[in-house]
Amino acid sequence: MSAAPEGHDGMTEGSAGVSATLRTGLSDVGGAVRDCWGALALAAMLSVAASSLPSGARFVIALVAGIVAQGALFRRAFGRAAGFKGLRWGRDEWRLLAAQLMILGLFALIGSILLVIVGGVALGVARTAAPNFDPSTTEAWRAAFAQAGPAGLIVAIVPLASLFILIWLGLRLSLSAPATVDQAGVRVLSAFSLTRGRTHILLVIGLAISIPVIVLSALLSVAPGQGPVVAAVMAACTYFYAMPAWTGALAHFYRHSAAQ
């Protein structure tokens, strides 16, 4: 048997499928937590603290927390200097922050365009169904859509299609972070091609990793009393399970895709 090509990590063509990628991400959670628990604990604490802040501050703190955790996990995945248990803010974190801000800007732009389209379609359907339609009242919107008949389905389909586009875009850009750390440069659109034709794999993996978080969130939502304890439990689940599993899966998937 011939040796695997350099940089290919001995992977076969099918090793970046759902099963292998998910298994790699989940099996490395323990090691990732052991090596990066300092950064993950800091990210979790920031997340809990942000839950009581105004929305603007909450967004900034949550963004920083995510970068701290991502930086530690991806630096570990690609053999970079880790700092003490992942605690470090260096060039990789600044690059990840820049990449994340660019992605957020892209989402804001495309989301705004989709919002205009959704609003235009809804207004068009409403005016067609009710020529004297008054868009200033909720009751008028409800009455117009009630009279729209089959055309009213368009009003439901267009937002769903818009959501699908945003999910697809997020999956296509999901290898931006590992590419940014591995290549020591901000990579956003240049990482787009790495997921061509494989977004369904990332979608299934993401859903599989998210199931325990979703179940836990649902259980906590019906538990008596909501507050810092619930926020702390969700933060621990997110940063000590979901994020290590997801970043481990992405690192595996990225290595395979970049080697093609």
pLDDT in tens, 91-139: 999 999 999 999 999 999 999 999 999 888 888 888 887 777 777 777 7
**pLDDT at position 225, please?**
64
Instruction: Tell me the pLDDT band of 55, cut-offs 50, 70 and 90.
Output: confident
In a domain, 16, yes or no: no
Residue 4 lies in a domain: no
Closest to 209 measured CA to CA, from 238, 235, 245: 245
For residue 77, give the nearest of 40, 38, 31, 42 by alpha carbon: 31
What integer is the mean pLDDT of 55-59?
87
Alpha-carbon gap, residue 47 to 239, rounded angstroms: 10
Decide if 176 is inside a domain: yes
Does a structural domain hold residue 66? yes
Name the residue range of residue 145's domain: 25-254
Position 53 in a domain? yes
User: Does some domain include residue 10?
Assistant: no
The Cα–Cα gap between 225 and 73 comes to: 33
Residue 17 lies in a domain: no
The number of distinct structural domains making up the chain is: 1
Average pLDDT, the chain: 86
In a domain, 13, yes or no: no
- pLDDT tens, 212-237? 999 998 888 877 666 778 888 999 99
Query: For residue 2, what pLDDT is reported?
Result: 35
Entry pTM = 0.84
pLDDT of residue 5: 35
Tell me the CA distances in angstroms from 70 to 88, 99, 113, 218, one per residue in order.
11, 12, 29, 26
